[in-house]
Structure formats: structure tokens, C-alpha cells
Amino acid sequence: MDLKVTQKLNDRQTIELTFNDPDLQMVVLKAGAVLSFNGKCPFCDSEDFTLQTRLAGEHREYKYTEYVCNGCNATRQFGEYRDGSGMFLKEWKEAYRKEQTVI
């Protein structure tokens, strides 16, 4: 069974992903991170995003992809479970804001 998901990131970019598994529940598990993304930043209500991927770990063995809000730079990270069974989606994180010092 194939599950095709189309997701609008911003006015210029749309991505289309296809997930495959003979079992419907496994297809939904694999696509969970994408299906759970509602397309709106909880901090600034922007609907303008980009995607970026980082490699982490001593041998760069872990891949983390994140939605980045173009309105306020908040991020929402997702990655793949180690056993390859599906993807996880983390909570939104506000962008780091350096406090201004008043002199």
C-alpha cells in the first residue's frame, strides 16, 4: 500500500512524499511525522517554512530534519526511529533570542 502526502511549505515550495508498506498501520507510522504537521507555527502563526537536515553523533550517524519557520525561526524536528519502523515528531522550539543589554 502506498500513501502519498503532499505538504505545502510556503508559497514557493511544496513537497510530495510517498510511504510504502503492505500494512496500513505501518504506512501511517512511517508517515506520522509528516501527517502530524499542521502547517502553522504556534509562536507567530506563520505558514511559511523551509526544511533543513543536520547530521549528529560521533560518526554523523543520526539524521535530524526540521521544519524552520521563516517568520520567527522556531523549529520542529523529526527523525527516524533507530529500528526504521517510522518517524517521530518533536515539539516546537522557540528560536534562541539573544537578550539585549541596555547601557
Task: Give me the mean pLDDT over the 25-51 stretch.
Answer: 91
| Helix intervals (H) in the chain | 24-35
Task: Give me the mean pLDDT over the 18-42 stretch.
Answer: 90
- How many domains does the chain contain in total? 1
pLDDT of residue 91: 92
Q: Is residue 101 part of a domain?
A: no
Say how far apart CA 52 and CA 22 lie, in whole Å.
30
Q: Is residue 80 part of a domain?
A: yes
Cell of 56: 549528529
Confidence of residue 100 (pLDDT cuts 50, 70, 90): low
- Quick check: 86 pLDDT over 80? no
Q: Is residue 42 part of a domain?
A: yes
CB 75 within 8 A of CB 67: yes
SS3 68: strand
Q: Is residue 84 part of a domain?
A: yes
Predicted model pTM: 0.78
Q: Is residue 100 part of a domain?
A: no
Taking residue 42's Cβ as centre, other Cβ atoms within 10 Å add up to: 14
Which residues constitute the domain of residue 41?
Answer: 2-93
- Quick check: 33 pLDDT over 60? yes
Q: Is residue 79 part of a domain?
A: yes
